[in-house]
C-alpha cells in the first residue's frame, strides 16, 4: 500500500484521516511489480510538481514532493542496489569498503556507480527521499542488542547467572523480555517494539554486565544513539544544530 499526505498538516499528518491511499496492491516488493503499479500515477506526480494544483477559489498551490519509507522499499523505488551491494548508498557513491571512514565527505548527488534502473517516481528530487526514522531506530537498536547479547551468550555462566539478571533488568524497565532457544539450540530473545526499544536504549544498565572501560563505551554508544535519534524527531532544527548533529554522528 502507498499513501500520500500533506506535510503542511504538521503533527496531524500521521493521523489516519490525513493519510490518503493512492495504491493498494497484492504482490511482492520487487522492482518489476512496482514498475507496473507506478506508471498509473507517475505522470500525475510530474504534473503536480511542475504545475501545482488549483483550489476551488482558483488559487494555484505549488507542490514539492517527498518520499519516505524503509530502506528496502526506497532502494527499489529509486532503482538502486540492495544494502549489501558494493555501491549501496541511496544518496552518494560511497562503497562498502569506505563506509566506516568518517573523514570522507560524500555529497548527496545520487548513486551513479551501481547498476541503476530508472527511478519509478522521477518527479521526486534526489534530496527528497527520506528514510523512515522508525526503521532506523529498529534496525540500529537490533544491531546494538545483537552485539551485546552475543558477547554475553559466549560466557559459560550465561544460562544460569547472566540470563536471569538481564531478564530482571528488563523487568525493572517494565519491558516484557526473555531469552529462549530456537532452532539448532541457538539462543534468541524477544523482539521489541519501538517504544520498548527507546526505553531500553535510554535506561538499560550495560555496565552491570560489561565491566570497565569497554562497558562504559558500549553504554555511552547506546545513550548517544538514543540522543541522536531524539534529535532527528524534532520538528525543527537550526542550521547550527544540524551542523553539530553531523559532527556528533561522525564521532
pLDDT in tens, 47-106: 999 999 898 999 999 999 999 988 888 999 999 988 888 999 999 999 999 988 888 888
* H-run or E-run covering 53: strand 53-54
pTM for the whole structure: 0.78
Nine cell digits for residue 210:
560489561
Torsion of CA 142, 206, 222, 135, to 10 degrees: 20
User: Does residue 185 have a pLDDT over 90?
Assistant: no
User: Does residue 39 have a pLDDT over 90?
Assistant: no
CB of 248 within 8 A of CB of 228? yes
**Radius of gyration over every alpha carbon of the chain, rounded to an integer in angstroms:** 22
Distance CA 10, CA 101 (A): 36
Q: Which residues pair with 3 in a beta bridge?
A: 21
Looking from the CA of 92 toward its CB, the CA atoms found within 13 Å total: 10
pLDDT band for position 10 (cuts 50, 70, 90): confident
Q: Which residues pair with 61 in a beta bridge?
A: 53
Amino acid at each position: 500500500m502507498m499513501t500520500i499526505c500533506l506535510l503542511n498538516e504538521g503533527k496531524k499528518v500521521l493521523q489516519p484521516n490525513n493519510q490518503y491511499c493512492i495504491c493498494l496492491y497484492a504482490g511482492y516488493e520487487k522492482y518489476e511489480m512496482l514498475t507496473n503499479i507506478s506508471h498509473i500515477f507517475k505522470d500525475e506526480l510530474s504534473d503536480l510538481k511542475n504545475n501545482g494544483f488549483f483550489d476551488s477559489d482558483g488559487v494555484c498551490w505549488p507542490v514539492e514532493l517527498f518520499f519516505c519509507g524503509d530502506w528496502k522499499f526506497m532502494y527499489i523505488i529509486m532503482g538502486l542496489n540492495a544494502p549489501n551491494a558494493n555501491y549501496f548508498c541511496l544518496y552518494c557513491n560511497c562503497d562498502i569498503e569506505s563506509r566506516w571512514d568518517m573523514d570522507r565527505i560524500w555529497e548527496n548527488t545520487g548513486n551513479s556507480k551501481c547498476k541503476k534502473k530508472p527511478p519509478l517516481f522521477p518527479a521526486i528530487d534526489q534530496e527528497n527521499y527520506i528514510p523512515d526514522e522508525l526503521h532506523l531506530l529498529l534496525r540500529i537498536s537490533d544491531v546494538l542488542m545483537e552485539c551485546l547479547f552475543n558477547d554475553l551468550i559466549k560466557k559459560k555462566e550465561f544460562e544460569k547467572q547472566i540470563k536471569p539478571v538481564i531478564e530482571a533488568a528488563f523487568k525493572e524497565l517494565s519491558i516484557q523480555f526473555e531469552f529462549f532457544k530456537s532452532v539448532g539450540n541457538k539462543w534468541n530473545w524477544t523482539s521489541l517494539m519501538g517504544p520498548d526499544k527507546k526505553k531500553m536504549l535510554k535506561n538499560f544498565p550495560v555496565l552491570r554486565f560489561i565491566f570497565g572501560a569497554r562497558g562504559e563505551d558500549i553504554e555511552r554508544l547506546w545513550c548517544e544513539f538514543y540522543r541522536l535519534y531524539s534529535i532527528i524527531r524534532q520538528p525543527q532544527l537550526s542550521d547550527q544544530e544540524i551542523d553539530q548533529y553531523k559532527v556528533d554522528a561522525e564521532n
